[in-house]
Chains A and B, each alone.
Chain A
Amino acid sequence: MTMADEEAASLLRKRVVSLEQISEEAQRTIDELRSRDELKTQFLSNISHDLRTPLAAIITHAEILRDGMLGELNTKQRDSIGGILSGGHQLLDMIDEILTYVRTASDQITLVRTHFSLPELVDQVRVLNHALAARKHLTIERLNGDDMPSIYADRDKVKHVLGNLIGNAIKFTNDGGRIWISFSRVGADGEMARVEVGDTGRGIARNHHELIFREFAQVDASPSRPHHGTGLGLAIARKLVELHAGTIWVESELGKGSRFFFTLPLYPAAD
């Protein structure tokens, strides 16, 4: 071995050692990040449960007052109690969203699949959102679906996804706008149902199409943003759709409305 060869071999050995060190360090960082992420999830879970209990007490007390169980109220007092209740329920919805996120993030969600009609479920979610939409003079239409075969999925989870998408559409569409839901069958043999939730709202810039499905992400994250929320709704929706082996995505341009799509298998997976 020449001197030059020895030098090269020694240099190579040093490089290998240094790469091994870097790799070990990277592994340590990954482990630490993972453990911090678990801590964060655990913290969110604990704090959400702890927030829920006093809130449940506030809501129950407010209902007792509202229903006149402790004496009749005048109109102003009733309105004020109504404010406590609607604020309380809004807070409760946000806490529940965090809890759902925690359960999806830590893989604590198990699907309970049954056969059910997707259009019927959509109609239920439309009814649930009717009052909210009416306040902004929005219409929510189901365009088709009467001939859709029943789907094999977790009804509650699909309802959650639909509620989320329709809720967002209401939130981000200006007065007098339109929201629609339509169905189609996709896949080589039409084995997937594709659901579209569209709106005539403000739209989403192309560079935000991925961001909005990330947890805690909001296109406008400033404290003065007009629409508040946990920023978890679409992250949860994506997780729930993916648990069903489906996909979710958005097609949108700023100022031109949004069309959210998700797919779900129509039939049980063949083993």
Chain B
Amino acid sequence: MGARILIVEDSPLIVDAFRVLFTDAGYDVDAAETVAEAVERGTKTRADVMLLDLTLPDGNGLDIMQALKERDSLPRVTLAMTGHNDAASRRSCMDAGCADVLLKPVPIVELLRKIESHLA
């Protein structure tokens, strides 16, 4: 089984696209649409990589990192995904411990390359 990836994203359309992508690339894929669901799934099985949307229906995606940290279940690598590229949100992601901040839609070649390099 490949590395486990947890996709945290409230749009089923994006989740579907990522499922196809990461399953094909050999990852073990899991997904959550809310902060609560992400904390639950992330605690149940610790992910190697978490792809994190920042705006979720029940709160800020970065809160998930704190909750998983407290449960000793923080993924090895967290990549934040945002719809707008501004310095302030970039800084808050890096401060929260994200390995990188990516602007959606992330070109798939770049996304796969970044994840592989962070996992290496």
Q: Of the candidates A56, A99, A112, which one forms a contact with B104 in the assembled complex, judged by CB atoms under 8 Å apart?
A: A56
1/0 per residue B81-116: CB within 8 Å of A? 001110110000000000000001101110000000
Q: Which of chain A's residues have a CB closer than 8 A to the CB of B84?
A: 96, 99, 103
The CA of A54 and the CA of B11, in the complex, are separated in Å by 8
Q: Which residues of B contact A55 (CB under 8 A)?
A: 105
Overall SS of chain B's interface: helix
Q: Are A59 and B105 in contact (CB under 8 A)?
A: yes
Interface of A is mostly: helix
Binds A, one of B18-26, B28-36, B61-69: B18-26
Least CB distance, B84 to chain A, in whole angstroms: 6
**Contact B108–A60 (Cβ < 8 Å):** yes
Chain A residues contacting B21 (CB-CB under 8 Å) are 60, 64, 69
User: Size of chain A's interface in residues, with CB distance under 8 A?
Assistant: 22
Q: Is B120 an interface residue (CB 8 A)?
A: no
Provide the bound-state CA to CA distance between A103 and B11, in Å.
23
Could you tell me the distance between the alpha carbons of A99 and B16 in the complex, rounded to whole angstroms? 25
Q: Are A56 and B109 in contact (CB under 8 A)?
A: no
Q: Once the chains bind, are B20 and A70 in contact (CB under 8 Å)?
A: yes
Query: Is A222 close to B, CB under 8 A?
Result: no
Chain A nearest CB from B32 CB (Å) reads: 17
Interface residues on B, range: 20 to 34
If A63-B108, A92-B105 touch, does A54 touch B24 (CB 8 Å cutoff)?
A: no
User: Please, what's the 1-or-0 string for A59-92, where 1 marks a CB less than 8 Å from any CB in chain B?
Assistant: 1110110010110000000000000000000001
User: In the assembled complex, which residues on chain A have CB atoms less than 8 Å from the CB atom of B1?
Assistant: none
Q: Are B14 and A53 in contact (CB under 8 A)?
A: yes
- Bound complex: CA of A59 vs CA of B21, how far in Å? 12
Would you call A15 an interface residue if the criterion is a C-beta within 8 Å of the partner chain's C-beta atoms? no
Most chain B beta-carbon neighbours within 10 Å: one of A54, A55, A63: A63
Say yes or no: is A110 at the interface (Cβ < 8 Å to chain B).
yes
Check if B24 sits within 8 Å of A60, measured CB to CB. no
**Is the pair B105, A67 in contact by a Cβ cutoff of 8 Å?**
no
- How close is A57's CB to chain B, nearest CB, in angstroms? 4
Contact status A53-B87, CB under 8 Å: no
Q: Take A64-B24, A70-B20 as given contacts and tell me if A57 and B108 are in contact as well, using a CB distance cutoff of 8 Å.
A: no
B91 to chain A, nearest CB (A): 9
CB distance from A110 to the nearest CB of B (A): 7
Q: Which of A13-68 contact B (CB under 8 A)?
A: 49, 52-57, 59-61, 63-64, 67
Q: How far apart are A52's CB and chain B's nearest CB, in angstroms? A: 6
| Alpha-carbon distance A57/B108, docked complex (angstroms) | 11
Q: Which residues of A contact B18 (CB under 8 A)?
A: 60
Q: Chain A residues with Cβ under 8 A from B87's Cβ?
A: 110, 112, 156
Contacting pair A69 B24 (CB below 8 A)? yes
Q: Which of A56, A64, A67, A69 contacts B14 (CB 8 A)?
A: A56
The answer to whether B104 touches A52, judged by C-beta atoms less than 8 angstroms apart, is yes
Q: Which of B11, B17, B104 contacts A64 (CB 8 A)?
A: B17
Q: Is the CB of B13 within 8 A of A53?
A: yes
Contact B20 A64 (CB under 8 A): yes
